[in-house]
Amino acid sequence: MACVSPDGKPTESGTKMLRALKSGLGSPEDIAKDAGLPLFRVRSGLRELAEAGLANQKDDRYELTEKGAELIG
């Protein structure tokens, strides 16, 4: 996984996305701009974060889960 390491911790790009979610951003486009990452990386990364239970998807938007919030402090 590109955004979540095998030990379950977010990678650098995963952490950037989680922080963007914490700041209230929810669309992949806004998160890509905020995190300075390509849009395709953010779309796939958010999917991974959701699979790992660190983010929830609602339609085309994402939000941080409690587990995700705990990981970035």
Partner 1 sequence: MEQLQGQEARLPRIGEAAPDFKAVTTHGVLKLEDFKGQWLILFSHPADFTPVCTTEFIAFAEIYPELQKRGVDLLGLSVDSVSSHIAWVRNVEEKMGIKIPFPVIADLSKEVSLAYGMIHPGQSKTETVRCVFIIDDKQTIRTILYYPLTTGRNMDEILRIVDALQTTDKNAVATPANWRPGDMVVVPPPNTQEMAEERVKQGYECVDWYLCKKKL
Per CB under 8 A, the segment of 17-25, 39-47, 57-65 that binds partner 1 is 39-47
Which one, of 73, 25, 66, lies nearest residue 46 by Cα?
25
Q: Between 22 and 41, whose beta carbon lies closer to partner 1?
A: 41
Q: Between 7 and 66, whose beta carbon lies closer to partner 1?
A: 7
Task: Determine contact, residues 19/71, Cβ cutoff 8 Å.
Answer: no
| 48 sits near partner 1 (criterion: CB under 8 A) | yes
Site size with partner 1, rule: CB under 8 A: 12
Q: How far apart are CA 15 and CA 3, in angstroms?
A: 8
Interface contacts to partner 1, rule CB under 8 A: 1-3, 38-41, 43-45, 47-48
